[in-house]
Structure formats: C-alpha cells, structure tokens
Amino acid sequence: MSASRGLSLWRLARAAPRTVSLAKPSYSAPRVLPLATQTLTYPSPRRLLSSQTNSDPPGFGSIPPRQEPESNQVSAEIPDSDATDDATSDPELTSDPEMTSDSDSSWSESSELDEPSVVLEAALGRVPALGWTPAALEEGARDMGLTHVVEDMFPRGGGELVDYFDTVCNSDLVEFLKQRAEEDGVKLLEEAVEHRLRMIIPHVNNWPQAMALKAFPVNAPTALENLGLLVDDMWYYAGDRSTDFSWYTKRGLLATIYTSTEVFMVQDTSVDFQETWKFLHRRMEDANTFGKASKEFQGLVSGGVDTFSAGLNAALNACGMKGR
C-alpha cells in the first residue's frame, strides 16, 4: 500500500512546478502609511502628551518625533475590509504592481516604520465586534495595512489592548482636568470621575470582559498602576498637595469610589447612565460626611494634622507616653 501510494505521490510530484507562479492581484493593495516609531513598551500617559520621544532603545534606530496618524486619511484609504481579508489570507504569492522596486526604495528612505500603538488604536475600532481579544488586534493590524502576524507583538493579547485604552483615556482626562483646574475640588473630583467613566460608554457592552482581563495575574500589575495614576491625577488637579499619610487615604478612597461606580455602570440600563451618576454622587457625599478620611476629603490642602496622627497622639497622651 505504501509503495503504490509513494509511487502515485512521486508521479504527482513530478508534475508539480519547480518554482512558484506569480499571480497578479485582483484587488488594490492597502497602502501602508509612513508612521513614526516608538518603543515597544507603550509610553506612560505623560509621554503621550508630549510629541518628543527621546529615548532610543537598541534595535529601533533613531526615533523621529511622533506624528499623529491622520485618521481621516486612513479611513478613506482603507479598502473594503472583506476584500482585504480575502486578499491577505489568500496564500497565493502576489506581485504588487504598486510596490515595485523603486517604490520600495522610496519607502525605505522615508520613515516607513511601525508603531505598536497604531495597531492598538486600530484594534480599538474592532473591539465592539470582536471583544478585547487577539482577534481584534489582528483585524486592527489588517485595517492599517499590516500583516496579522504583528499581533504576536502583544503577548498579553486583550490585556494589552485594555491597558492601552486605559492609558489613552487617562491622558485625555488629564487634558480635561488641566482646563478645569480652578474649580472647587470635591466637585471637580466628581466631574472627573464622571468624565472618565463616560469614556467607557462606547465599549460598555464589552467592559465586563475588560474588567475580568484586568484581574488576571499577568495584567493586574499594570491595571493597578493605571488606576493609581488615574486617581493621583484626579486628586492633583483637584488641588491636593498633601505630603503626609492622607495622600494614601485620599487616593485609596477615590479608587474605591471609582471602581464601585464602574461596576455599577456596566449593569446600568438607565438613559444616559443617570442612575450611575446618582450612585456616584451618593458615594461622594458618603465620603464627605462619614468615614475616617472625611476630614481629608474636606480639607484638600494638608497643613494640619490628619486623623491618623491625631488619633495616634490622642492614644499616646492617654497612655501618658508623650512628654509634658
């Protein structure tokens, strides 16, 4: 059996072509736009705000200043996604008439370089349909004219996409807070939390999946770091400059408020999430009037004694351990 099978395979193979035929494509290839590079780890929120990136990790060569990818131009240039999927998944070798050798050299002269956050940004557009998954990253890469293999650049998959989304939203929030720095502190906190949570609304249907991803051990450290930076930014622009223990209690309290409101929001079905904002308002009122840290909440500028050290002093006095 194996001999005859081998013989028939041999005959089949003898008829096979030795080289590959180059077929002409039947679609117009997606254009790859020149993009600036960045490091493989994404920038912290403050770096996103500046357009100068100066650190050059080995292997990336020189990094020109980050340019905004023109999203309007991209949407006009992207061909129909179905046709693109067929074409890029088509295993036939295609010789692209647009990308001949002279245009290839012009690409290499210009800054035809990849930027990981470009893939992430395009993948966000695919999240409503595909969720926070590597599939969204693959489709986002295809939308930008890249090959789906670039999805391997993100080993944590959906977790990295959520992390990027949080980073971008946090930096947008900072812009919002900078414009409102003059206002009353506690009121600004509530507006800041509402503004930040409203950024989730386009993805609110998939947000439980994102929250679950953030709980995974691989994603939890960066998720906690993002939350910490978020509440720190909110308190800073609300006017807090404390340097004592109340720094921690304030941020911990705000993080609790933010997270509980977020959880409430994903199951809220009211119009424009009005119930969520009422929930938030109630939590802020609670923090204002009750609780150990209410004194810090009301006194935004530290300069006096916070409750922790007041309590400690009182206890020491009661024990007679403090000096006269």
Partner 1 sequence: MEGQGRVIVCDASEQMVDAGRERTWNAGIVGGIDWLVGDAEALPLPARSVDACTIAFGIRNLTRIERALAEARRVLRPGGRFLCLEFSSRPPAGIERLYNAYSFAVIPLLGAAVTGQRDAYAYLVESIRRFPPPELLASMMGDAGFGGVRVRPLSAGIATLHSGWRI
Distance of closest approach, residue 105 Cβ to partner 1, in angstroms: 10
Indicate the residue among 14 and 324 with the shorter CB distance to partner 1: 14
Indicate the residue among 97 and 208 with the shorter CB distance to partner 1: 97
Distance of closest approach, residue 220 Cβ to partner 1, in angstroms: 24
Query: In sequence order, which residues have a C-beta less than 8 Å from that of residue 51 and are 6 or more positions away?
Result: 65, 66
Query: In sequence order, which residues have a C-beta less than 8 Å from that of residue 65 and are 6 or more positions away?
Result: 36, 51, 52, 53
Indicate the residue among 113 and 130 with the shorter CB distance to partner 1: 113
Closest by CA to 185, choosing from 284, 256, 310, is 284
Distance of closest approach, residue 157 Cβ to partner 1, in angstroms: 16
Residues 222, 160: Cα–Cα separation, whole Å: 9
Indicate the residue among 34 and 208 with the shorter CB distance to partner 1: 34
Contact status, residue 140 vs residue 157, Cβ threshold 8 Å: no
> Which tokens hold the place of 94?
């295609």
Query: In sequence order, which residues have a C-beta less than 8 Å from that of residue 72 and are 6 or more positions away?
Result: none
Distance of closest approach, residue 258 Cβ to partner 1, in angstroms: 33
Distance of closest approach, residue 107 Cβ to partner 1, in angstroms: 9
Indicate the residue among 93 and 224 with the shorter CB distance to partner 1: 93
- The residues of the shown chain that bind partner 1, judged by CB under 8 A, are 6, 9-10, 12-13, 18-20, 22, 32, 37, 40, 58-61, 89, 91-96, 99-101, 104, 108, 112-114, 116, 119, 141, 145-150, 152-153
> Which tokens hold the place of 282?
């109630």
